Amino acid sequence: MEYTFISRDTFNRIIEHYITNLPIFKQEKALINLELLNKIKNILLNPKDQDICNKTTRDWAKKKFKLEKIIPGDYRVLVKASNNPVLVVENMYGVLYQTYAKITQYGEQKQT
């Protein structure tokens, strides 16, 4: 039996459905997009700047994330709890597709 991965349109509809079915106050931070990632990075690079976002977002970013220097002047955002880099929603489909392709190449669909 051959399996095929979902289309990007289907994936986008699933993400949209997931977000819109959350309570309004959870929708903005449920999945991190590039815009929110840049805000988090800005907050962490300028922790005393109170003009960046609102206090709730600043506190959330400082509590949940940290920066890792890649090269001078360039950082990536890591999740504090796991030390894993943040996967932005814009890149999720590609990562999931690559993982699916790698797993199905070896006939191990159960791992997906």
Which token pair is 112? Answer: 């997906």
Q: What is the span of the domain harbouring residue 20?
A: 8-111
Q: How many domains does the chain have?
A: 1
Evaluate whether residue 93 is within a structural domain: yes
* Residue type (1 letter), 30: A
Residue that the structure tokens 């997931």 belong to: 18
Question: What predicted TM-score, i.e. pTM, was given to this entire model?
Answer: 0.83
Evaluate whether residue 77 is within a structural domain: yes
Give the per-residue pLDDT at 101: 85
> Which residue in 103, 74, 101 sits closest to 5, CA to CA?
101
Evaluate whether residue 101 is within a structural domain: yes
For Cα atoms 41, 98, 106, give the angle at the middle one, nearest 5 degrees. Answer: 145
Which token pair is 43? Answer: 């907050």
Which token pair is 49? Answer: 């700047």
Q: Is 72 helix (H, G, I), strand (E, B) or coil?
A: coil
Evaluate whether residue 3 is within a structural domain: no
Model pLDDT for residues 32-42, shown as the tens digit of each residue: 999 999 999 99
